[in-house]
Amino acid sequence: MKQITFYLVRHGRTEWNEQGLMQGSGDSPLTEQGVQGAIRTGKALSAIDFSAVYTSCLQRTIDTAKYIVGNRAVPIFQHKGLNEHAFGSWEGQVVETLRQTEEFQQMLTTPAHYKGISNGGETYEALAVRAMNAMLDIIKVHDKGNILIVSHGHTLRILLALFNGATWRNHREPGRSEALLNTSISIVKFEEKDCVGNFTVEQCNNIEHL
């Protein structure tokens, strides 16, 4: 029987967040606010005995994880399946300008219709498959304990929705998911018994520590 508690944290605020630029597979450094948010998250989770930390392969999550862990001897691993939704040619562009386009609105509201045609971006279906496979990969390695996951807004949002029974097609319908704030904490329990696994979301998007 497996019993794992996942602590899912969105990375700290970055320079591109401040500038209103699309990030995705692109990357930018944490701001001072992002660093302080990660440090506060570390303090909030200081009593949790983590077996391991998994981040995406993007530096903003790696840096966030290091600030959270601090001096604790916890191994930090990267998994590309935890990377952010890839937005293709939109990355580095001004969000408010992109917001005026039909395809951007489809991405925000109707995942089933968003195909990433104009930008060559990743579909929600592809994001959902790789993100869930990343979680299943991690579950294969661990039987019990506390695992810290540091990832990204779209990636964590779709994962939390899937854990709650939504699909990639409907996860952006009202009430099924919410936009995650930087260095927010979500807690998910995973139990597997007789080869049947079950995720339970116990806390979502908590920022009391900030």
Report d(CA 16, CA 206) in Å as an integer: 23
Catalytic residue check, 11: yes
The single residue of 18, 32, 84, 125 carrying the catalytic annotation is 84
From the candidates 11, 85, 154, 171, which is the catalytic residue? 11
SS3 31: coil
CA distance 57 to 82: 8
Cβ contact 85:152 at 8 Å: yes
Positions at the binding site for substrate: 10-17, 60
Answer for the pair 146, 5: CB distance below 8 angstroms, yes or no.
yes
Does residue 142 carry a catalytic annotation? Answer: no
- Sequence-separated (6 or more) residues with CB below 8 Å from residue 130: 80, 81
Q: Annotated binding residues, as ranges?
A: 10-17, 60
The full DSSP string for 93-157 is SBHHHHTTSHHHHHHHH-GGG---TTT----HHHHHHHHHHHHHHHHHH-SEEEEEEEE-HHHHH
Query: Which residues are the active-site residues?
Result: 11, 84
